[in-house]
Amino acid sequence: MSTSIRSLVIPVSDLDAAKAVYGVVYGDPHTDQPYYVGYNVDGFEVALAPGDTSGGAVAYADVDDFDGMRERLLAAGATERDAPRQVAPEARVCVLLDKDGNAIGLRGR
């Protein structure tokens, strides 16, 4: 099994204000859309996304077996925060929570 963390998605309430702050650190984004602003930080994706900020940032683990990993985490006691959804032609994401409410992001096919 191959698992690696390659992205961090930060929910923000004001995308323009967040871009001003994160742009100081990361420079110009490679993607600048109303639904997603992405920065490449030495091959690691730091992204801003408008949405509910109460859950905090989510680190997404890239996994080879998305459905299998999700099922194993649920069987181990994780609960689902965000159901699987397609975010690109060959990428799905979901967010699970451990028993303490910490987010576990998965990204795969």
The pLDDT tens digits for 35-94 are 999 999 999 999 999 998 988 999 999 999 999 999 999 999 999 999 999 998 999 999
Query: How confident is the model over 15-30, as a mean pLDDT?
Result: 97
Six-digit token string for 61: 């683990």
Q: Give all strands (DSSP E) within 1-109, no chain letters.
A: 3-12, 31-33, 36-41, 44-50, 58-63, 79-88, 91-97, 103-108
pTM: predicted TM-score of the whole model, two decimal places: 0.86
- The predicted pLDDT at position 55 comes to 87
CATH of 3-108, one of 3.40.50.150, 3.10.180.10, 3.30.365.10, 2.60.40.680: 3.10.180.10
The gap from C-alpha 98 to its chain's centroid, in whole angstroms, comes to 16
Q: Where are the domains of the chain?
A: 3-108
